[in-house]
Amino acid sequence: MWRGRGKREAPPSLALASRSRGAAVLLAATASALLFAWPQGADAKTSARKTYSPWRLEDLDDLAEILKRHVALVEIEPTVTHGVETLDEPTRQGYGVAISPRRIAMLSFLAEGARTIRVVGPRGRPLEAQLVLYDVERRVAVVETRTPLKRAGLEAAPFAQRQDREIDQSIFALVSTLPQSGVIHGTITDLGEVEELDGIPHIDLRLERGMPVFDERARLVGFSRTVAWDLDPFMIVPAEKILSAQTATTAAAAARRGSPRKSAGANKEPGQQRVPGPNP
């Protein structure tokens, strides 16, 4: 037996094997710890990137549940002023899409003349909201709730990129926000690339009241822009117009804060109104 100086030691081959086993045990323990420490939201992010097929019923059911977490019912109590007389219209309803922890984007005409605004999510609990952006040119309005949207069961939707759109691409929309409602399937029929369309895509679904539209990966494509006087009921407000409306408003607000003497509308685009309220 091999002997070392001063005390007995294991042969080098046995010592190496022992150290290898120890390293293997440590590696296994580390891997196990990492597995159990994996964030719970990681699975949700992975599932959000799944491609949903319109031909699989289980995919349509799963997609409906996902979209209900992004799409809100918006209740508006408008006030219309005629001269010195103020008339209250009946409450009108439409749809919006969550774009941040406290903000909903929707068709601008739904919010026109709003006296009170309520946002209703899948939990059925209405949240009070106020108008923070009204852009009639882009047909985009943004409202902000006083409490986080998660209290109503809503969360921000991921946005699809403009370059990802293509002719005949599958798109999906909820029938309604009722608990038992499902989704309907359609396609993109025009990308809106000609000058006359000004970047406004067309779909083959006739949607109303600003219903949001999503792609096969549950990403926001846009929302229906149809109102009563539109001759073309198949146009949508694309996601990038929602972003550009917010960006223009944020830039204008920042410019006004940096230049107190500048008039409030100096940086505002035509047709756009930033309603006084919390900063974006």
**DSSP sequence for 141-154:** EEEEESS-GGGGT-
SS3 135: strand
pLDDT at res. 38: 31
Contact yes or no for 135/271 (Cβ under 8 A) = yes
Contact yes or no for 271/137 (Cβ under 8 A) = yes
pLDDT at res. 79: 77
Structure tokens that stand for 240 in this block? 């990038």
Reported CATH class of domain 162-242: mainly beta
Residue closest to 210 by CA, chosen among 91, 80, 94, 48:
94
- Cβ neighbours, 10 Å, residue 223: 30
Span(s) in the chain for CATH 2.40.10.10: 162-242
Q: What is the pTM of this model?
A: 0.72
Structure tokens that stand for 29 in this block? 């323990």
- Cβ neighbours, 10 Å, residue 79: 12
CATH classification code of 69-152: 2.40.10.120
pLDDT at res. 37: 35
pLDDT at res. 81: 56
Going by their DSSP bridges, the two strands 220-224 and 236-238 should be labelled as antiparallel
SS3 22: helix
pLDDT at res. 98: 97
129 forms beta bridges with: 117, 145
Span(s) in the chain for CATH 2.40.10.120: 69-152
Task: Write out residues in the chain with pLDDT < 50, as ranges.
Answer: 1-9, 12-18, 20, 23-48, 83-85, 259-270, 276-280
Backbone torsions φ then ψ of 183, nearest 5 degrees: -115, 155
Report the alpha-carbon distance of residue 212 to residue 218 in Å, rounded: 11
Structure tokens that stand for 253 in this block? 């607000």
Structure tokens that stand for 252 in this block? 């204008």
What burial class does residue 162 get, using C-beta atoms within 10 Å of its C-beta: 0-12 exposed, 13-18 middle, 19+ buried?
Answer: middle
Contact yes or no for 67/172 (Cβ under 8 A) = yes
pLDDT at res. 73: 97
